């Protein structure tokens, strides 16, 4: 399949804001795509070439991309930079410069989807000495053969800025409309089946191929693959304990640990550990791996819990930031494991020795979990919990959690199946009343005076769930220590995509929890709102940008202040 066919679809998607129109455009594309290209097309429609859980990313630094455009068009890097300053879009810059190439390509091949996909996968996986030059050559090779519009979307794909307004929900619906609904499957059943398979496989490309080949039953019969993370069940925020008890007279109440959620897969002697973002962190936690091998008595299982950093002398919990040091660690892992030991607090099991447990009630899943876990102080235990219908008893348990410096409590319906994502009727979280927002850093500003060497003011954004874009809502420069300013600068530097004087714009990857005094309307930011006096609470290393708070939640919090004009 020629790449220009996909580019034509990109153009159509970019030209409309209507969700149903976008869905139908994608469904037609998927339906008409040859079998051998379907997997590639579905991923490229999301602007990726690997599923997110693999950890491979296309991201290239802006300067590397400028060099690739320069090599392929004959313009100098300085000329490319000048044009980029004019357009503000490196993809559009590539389109203009390819159209006005200074050098003629002697051997120009028609770009295929396979060629683009293959080169981009190599860009994502190339590492080691000389890798930057190799990446630049791979991109320049594509741009040499690209038509202007093809070049635009190749560059945008690599930079993670496809700008076609396609979020995961649209891909899901398009797969259903491409392969199930035309065969008479009800819309609700079709979307539900695609969603189920996606939650297990975490790869829409694979889901689309399976849907086309095996239909509805093929999707319904998908089972977890040990070593590949599944999407997790999440709690929704409840206003009060009373609110939950009105819905569920008897509840299971657990500590909401201030740790890292761990999804743990075990197959014989092999153990994998994933975060709630589905990132694999097995290598960073060799102590947890050994604990699971020795004290989880199951040949195969998928269990969930919170990894909790503890003081090795007292056994008391340490701040989450201590654990984040281990998550980011690439060297001295064994030493860090001894310095900051982790206690595993398990709360669920979804797969046991070949049996899928999603539809079993929570109370039954907990019994199965208890049967296979051998508790060891300071290493592994079943999460502390009570079963109660007494509001006073639950409040006492809540205060106990807070006194131990935990986030709060989780209140769970004992009859609840395991439901992927956030759904009413399953899990609820109760935390102290001050509302915070989980926001994405999309830009920053170099400091002045003693802070001149740091990026010390951060542009914050909420997520638009319909388009996947990030909308700015404020700037934060307080709540960080000197050490944190330095650490944040080091994390942001590799993400810089462009610079405008002292302001830099970065790839949206880092999520921060932010407190604030109030929310105001403001035309200054693209969300239409501004946070007054935003302050850092913590860096959310357990969350990705796709889990940041949405513009809808920002509006809701604004309205809850009683400010409607």
Active site residues: 256
Q: Which two tokens mark 248? A: 């569920």
CA pair distance 56, 130, nearest whole angstrom: 18
Distance from C-alpha of 462 to C-alpha of 472, rounded to nearest angstrom: 6
Report the C-alpha gap between 242 and 226 in whole angstroms: 39
Q: Roughly how many angstroms between the first and final C-alpha of the chain, as a whole number?
A: 52
Q: Is 542 helix (H, G, I), strand (E, B) or coil?
A: coil
- The CA dihedral of 429, 434, 439, 443, to the nearest 10 degrees, is -160
Count the Cβ atoms, other than its own, within 10 Å of residue 548: 21
Q: Which of 540, 539, 535 is nearest to 477 (CA)?
A: 535
| Cβ atoms 400, 388 nearer than 8 A | no
Task: Tell me which residue of 244, 182, 178, 180 sits closest to 216, measured CA to CA.
Answer: 180
DSSP state string for 245-305 = HHH-SSEEEEEE-SSEEEEEEEETTEEEEE-TT--B-GGG-HHHHHHHHHHB--SEEEEEE
Cα-based distances in Å from 128 to 80, 131, 135, 388: 27, 5, 11, 56
Q: Which residues contact 289 (CB under 8 A, 6 or more apart)?
A: 271, 273, 282
CA 460 – CA 214 distance, rounded (Å): 44
Total Cβ atoms within 10 A of residue 130: 9
What distance in Å separates the CA atoms of residue 63 and residue 53, rounded to the nearest whole number?
A: 27
Of all helices (H) and strands (E), which one includes residue 351?
strand 342-352
By C-alpha distance, which of 510, 507, 467, 515 is closest to 488? 510
Integer Rg of the chain from CA: 25
Neighbour tally for 212: CB within 10 Å: 18
The CA distances from residue 452 to 163, 448, 455, 491, in Å, are 33, 4, 8, 17
Looking only at the bridges linking them, the beta strands covering 260-267 and 511-515 are unpaired
Cα–Cα distance, 372 to 404 (Å, whole number)? 27
The phi and psi torsions of 229 (rounded to 5 degrees) equal -70, 145
Q: Would residue 227 be called left, alpha or beta, if left means φ above 0 and alpha means ψ between -120 and 50 degrees?
A: left
């Amino acid at each position: 399949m020629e790449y220009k066919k996909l580019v034509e679809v990109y153009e159509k998607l970019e030209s409309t804001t209507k969700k149903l129109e976008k869905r139908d455009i994608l469904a037609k594309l998927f339906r008409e795509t040859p079998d051998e290209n379907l997997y590639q097309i579905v991923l490229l429609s999301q602007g990726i070439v690997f599923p997110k859980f693999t950890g491979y990313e296309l991201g290239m630094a802006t300067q590397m991309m400028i060099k690739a455009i320069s090599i392929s068009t004959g313009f100098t890097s300085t000329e490319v930079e000048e044009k980029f300053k004019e357009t503000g879009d490196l993809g559009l810059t590539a389109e203009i410069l390819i159209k006005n190439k200074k050098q003629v390509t002697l051997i120009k091949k028609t770009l295929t989807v396979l060629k683009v996909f293959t080169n981009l996968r190599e860009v994502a996986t190339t590492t080691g000495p000389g890798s930057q030059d190799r990446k630049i050559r791979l991109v320049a090779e594509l741009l040499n053969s690209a038509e202007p519009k093809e070049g635009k979307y190749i560059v945008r794909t690599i930079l993670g800025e496809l700008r076609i307004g396609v979020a995961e929900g649209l891909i899901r619906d398009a797969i259903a409309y491409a392969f199930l609904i035309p065969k008479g499957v009800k819309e609700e059943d079709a979307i539900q089946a695609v969603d189920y398979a996606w939650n297990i496989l975490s790869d829409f490309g694979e889901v689309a191929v399976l849907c086309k080949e095996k239909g509805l039953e093929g999707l319904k019969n998908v089972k977890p693959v040990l070593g590949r993370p599944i999407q997790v069940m999440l709690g929704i925020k409840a206003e009060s304990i009373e609110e939950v008890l009105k819905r569920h007279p008897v509840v299971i109440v657990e500590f909401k640990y201030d740790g890292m959620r761990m999804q743990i897969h075990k197959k014989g002697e092999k153990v994998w550990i994933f975060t709630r973002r589905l990132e694999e962190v097995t290598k960073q936690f060799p102590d947890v791996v050994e604990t699971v091998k020795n004290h989880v008595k199951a040949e195969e299982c998928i269990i969930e819990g919170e990894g909790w950093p503890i003081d090795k002398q007292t056994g008391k919990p340490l701040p989450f930031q201590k654990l984040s040091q281990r998550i980011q660690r690439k060297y001295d892992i064994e030493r860090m494991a001894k310095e900051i030991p982790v206690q595993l607090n398990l709360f669920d099991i979804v797969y046991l020795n070949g049996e899928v447990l999603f539809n079993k009630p929570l109370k039954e899943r907990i019994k199965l979990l208890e049967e296979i876990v051998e508790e060891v102080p300071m290493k592994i235990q079943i999460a502390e919990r009570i079963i109660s219908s007494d509001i006073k008893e639950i409040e006492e348990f809540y205060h106990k959690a807070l006194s131990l410096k935990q986030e709060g409590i989780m209140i769970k319906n004992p009859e609840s199946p395991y439901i992927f994502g956030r759904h009413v009727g399953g899990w609820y979280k109760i935390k102290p009343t001050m509302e915070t927002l989980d926001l994405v850093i999309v830009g920053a500003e170099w400091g002045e005076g003693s802070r001149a060497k740091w990026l010390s003011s951060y542009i914050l954004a909420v997520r638009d769930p319909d388009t996947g874009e990030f909308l700015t809502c404020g700037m934060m420069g307080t709540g960080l220590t000197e050490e944190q300013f330095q650490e944040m600068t080091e994390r942001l530097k590799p993400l810089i995509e462009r610079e405008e004087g002292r302001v830099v714009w970065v790839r949206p990857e880092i999520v921060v929890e932010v407190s604030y005094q109030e929310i105001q309307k403001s035309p200054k930011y693209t969300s239409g709102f501004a946070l007054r006096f935003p302050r850092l609470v913590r860096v959310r290393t357990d969350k990705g940008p796709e889990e940041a708070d949405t513009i809808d939640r920002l509006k809701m919090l604004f309205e809850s202040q009683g400010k409607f004009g």
